[in-house]
């Protein structure tokens, strides 16, 4: 998206690898958001630590399906008569538990995001894309410039689009936060929820304080990314939807 503080037309259009990775990552993220919400519907409770289930206290719970604040469990009964026997219990409610397809699609879309993101990251570093187009200059990165740029966005003072990657300070800061913090965070916390991956790399559990903590962090990172996507689309529409789409697809 073009800079709200730059009225001139950019002389360098987006590179093809930027356009391609942009759309692959976008479609992958939309699939992840959809399937992630479906999985939350199955278990709308979030915990902190290593263990979390319907029998343990939740950090918070989302009212997104009939599994929210369910009726609980019937009285437990032991498998065997002796002391210390494992116990079982039946739910007192009709559970929503149809997420096999969601997990599979979430996993597949996640690898599309990871592989494309790595290609974008390496290309951005070796071609100088990040340094040239996203990294703020020493004179540009000031509190006053950031405040003025933020104020213009809040007032929706968005000029027509330029034809290439000419970004304002707020855009640069946001893109860098997404690329170098939120996307790596959501990727690593997603991997931490995989027993196969944590069996090979157990340090992930220590970094994120357990699998359930990783799931909670993963949720908040996804909310931040979804908020970024919504604001990004609004800015695209405000600054000239047709021109922005052309510049990020087949336009010159």
Is residue 189, in this structure, part of any structural domain at all? Answer: yes
What is the predicted pLDDT for the residue at 163? 53
CB atoms under 10 Å from CB of 110, counted, come to 21
88 is a domain residue:
no
Q: Is the pLDDT confidence value at 59 over 60?
A: yes
pTM: 0.77
85 domain residue, yes or no: no
Residue 181 has pLDDT above 60, yes or no: yes
- Weakest-pLDDT range from 2-16, 100-114, 121-135, 159-173: 2-16
Confidence tier at 6 by pLDDT (50, 70, 90) = very low
Let me know if residue 69 belongs to a domain: no
Q: How many CA atoms lie within 13 A of 177 on its CB side?
A: 10
Under the banding of pLDDT at 50, 70 and 90, the label for residue 48 is very high
- Tell me the average pLDDT across 159-182: 76
pLDDT attached to residue 31: 93
pLDDT tens track for 81-119: 777 777 777 666 667 777 788 888 999 999 999 999 898
- What is the C-alpha separation between 43 and 21, in angstroms, rounded? 32
Q: What values do phi and psi take at 50, rounded to 5?
A: -90, -35
Average pLDDT of span 166-177: 81
81: in domain = no
Residue 126 belongs to some domain of the structure = yes
Q: Work out how many domains the chain is built from and give that number.
A: 1
Highest mean pLDDT among 51-60, 66-75, 111-120, 121-130: 111-120
What domain range includes position 161? 16-39+98-247
| CB 207, CB 188: distance < 8 Å | yes
Residue 83 lies in a domain: no
CATH of the domain at 204: 1.20.950.20
Instruction: Name the band, by pLDDT with cuts 50, 70 and 90, for residue 215.
Output: very high
The larger pLDDT score, comparing residue 19 to residue 108, is at 108
Higher pLDDT, 191 or 4: 191
Flag whether 64 is in a domain: no
User: For residues 112 and 68, which has the higher predicted lDDT (pLDDT)?
Assistant: 112
Residues 205/192, Cβ–Cβ less than 8 Å: yes
End-to-end CA separation in angstroms for the chain:
14
Predicted confidence at residue 204, as pLDDT, reads: 94
Separation between Cα atoms, residue 6 and residue 21, nearest integer Å: 25
| SS3 labels along the chain | CCCCCCCCCCCCCCCHHHHHHHHHHHHHHHHHHHHHHHHHHHCCEECCCCCCCCCCCCCEECCCCCCCCCCCECCCEECCCCCCCCEECCECCCCCCCCHHHHHHHHHHHHHHHHHHHHHHHHHHHCCHHHHHHCCCCCCCCHHHHHHHHHHHHCCCCCCCCCCCCCCHHHHHHHHHHHHHHHHHHHHHHHHCCHHHHHHCCHHHHHCCCHHHHHHHHHHHHHHHHHHHHHHHHHHHHHHHHHHHHHCCCCC
pLDDT at 5: 45
Tokens of 97: 């538990």
Mean pLDDT of 218-225: 95
């Amino acid at each position: 998206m073009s800079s709200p503080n730059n009225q001139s037309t950019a002389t360098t259009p987006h590179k093809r690898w930027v356009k391609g990775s942009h759309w692959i990552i976008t479609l992958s993220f939309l699939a992840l958001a959809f399937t992630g919400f479906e999985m939350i519907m199955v278990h709308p409770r979030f915990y902190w630590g290593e263990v979390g289930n319907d029998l343990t206290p939740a950090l918070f719970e989302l009212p997104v399906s009939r599994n929210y604040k369910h009726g609980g469990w019937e009285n437990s009964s032991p498998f065997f008569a002796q002391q210390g026997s494992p116990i079982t219990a039946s739910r007192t409610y009709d559970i929503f538990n149809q997420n096999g397809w969601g997990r599979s699609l979430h996993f597949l879309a996640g690898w599309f995001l990871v592989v494309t993101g790595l290609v974008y990251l390496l290309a951005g570093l070796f071609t100088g894309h990040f340094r040239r187009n996203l990294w703020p200059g020493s004179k540009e990165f000031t509190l006053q410039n950031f405040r003025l740029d933020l104020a213009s966005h809040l007032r929706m003072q968005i000029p027509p689009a330029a034809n290439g990657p000419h970004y304002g300070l707020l855009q640069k800061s946001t893109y860098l936060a997404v690329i170098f913090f939120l996307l790596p965070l959501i990727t690593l916390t997603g991997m931490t929820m995989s027993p196969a991956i944590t069996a090979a790399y157990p340090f992930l559990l220590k970094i994120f304080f357990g699998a359930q903590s990783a799931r909670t962090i993963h949720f908040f990172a996804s909310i931040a990314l979804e908020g970024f996507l919504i604001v990004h689309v609004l800015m695209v529409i405000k600054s000239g939807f047709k021109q922005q789409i052309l510049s990020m697809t087949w336009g010159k």
